[in-house]
């Protein structure tokens, strides 16, 4: 395969996965669903239903796996986030409150969610054994 495909969420290389992508395909790095609108070449935020394909059924959650038959992977789907805006906002908060403000990165959020799942009955919960 000559094309290099990346996960829409984290940018990890997914070219080694079998193509066409199945509905349950996931990124091996961030575990994001891959058969999603955000990884499709027809995804367009400026269009009705955010899709260039006029006869495709509307999909509510563009980041979750779906059954769309028009799905075609887009090799340009991953958009690296610009950190300049975050730095500017942090500077503004520091100026306003007079102290340094730390913004958690997405890995911290994933860790926190995992810990909450463990604590409050996620997949590995032992509360079912009562």
Residue 36 has pLDDT above 80, yes or no: yes
Write down the pLDDT at residue 64.
95
Between 93 and 7, the more confident residue is 7
Cα–Cα separations (whole angstroms), residue 82 to 51, 88, 95, 108:
25, 11, 21, 18
Write down the number of H helices and E strands in the chain. Answer: 2, 0
The angle formed by the CA atoms of residues 60, 65 and 69, to the nearest 5 degrees, is: 85
Cα–Cα separations (whole angstroms), residue 29 to 73, 100, 110, 129:
18, 31, 12, 32
Between 110 and 26, the more confident residue is 26
pTM of the shown model: 0.61
Mean pLDDT of 65-73: 93
Mean pLDDT of 60-71: 93
Q: Which of 65-74, 80-89, 100-109 has the highest mean pLDDT?
A: 65-74
Question: How many Å separate Cα 3 from the centre of its chain?
Answer: 21
Write down the pLDDT at residue 67.
93
Look up residue 110 and give its DSSP letter: H
The mean predicted confidence, pLDDT, of the chain is 82
């Amino acid at each position: 395969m000559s094309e290099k495909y990346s996960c829409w969420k984290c940018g990890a290389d997914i070219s080694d996965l079998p193509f066409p992508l199945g509905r349950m395909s996931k990124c091996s790095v961030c575990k994001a669903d891959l058969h999603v609108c955000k990884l499709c070449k027809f995804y367009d935020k400026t269009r009705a239903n955010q899709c260039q394909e006029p006869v495709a059924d509307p999909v509510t959650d563009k980041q979750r796996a779906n059954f769309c038959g028009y799905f075609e992977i887009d090799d340009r789907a991953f958009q690296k986030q610009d950190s300049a805006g975050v730095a500017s906002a942090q500077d503004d908060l520091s100026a306003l409150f007079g102290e340094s403000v730390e913004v958690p990165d997405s890995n911290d959020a994933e860790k926190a969610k995992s810990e909450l799942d463990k604590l409050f009955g996620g997949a590995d919960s032992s509360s079912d054994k009562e």
